[in-house]
Amino acid sequence: MLLHIYSLRKPVFQKEVISVNLKTSNGEITILDNHRPLITPLEKGVIRITDLKGSEELFEATQGFVEVRPKGEVSILIG
């Protein structure tokens, strides 16, 4: 799935990934390919990304939103 992460000022990440783990207002979730469409606010915490090679990248989020769109595209706006 294609993941985009944007800060309030600029895009900070764009890559094909296997999974994204993050904290939402309803609890911690993991987004995998073919996840159902979703829009939800983020809570303060770490966004844990696993890329296609199995490497892990971390981003700190103090607030924001995540949108999961059909056909494997995920956008995250972090503050």
Tell me the per-residue pLDDT of 35-55, one tens digit each, with 9 for 90 and over. Answer: 999 999 999 999 999 999 999
User: What pTM does this model have?
Assistant: 0.92
Q: Which residue has the higher pLDDT, 22 or 70?
A: 22
Please state the domain extents for the chain: 2-78
Class of domain 2-78: mainly beta
33 in Cβ contact with 45 (< 8 Å) = no
CA distance 25 to 41: 6
Confidence (pLDDT) at 71: 86
- pLDDT bin (cut points 50, 70, 90) of residue 8 is confident
- pLDDT bin (cut points 50, 70, 90) of residue 14 is very high
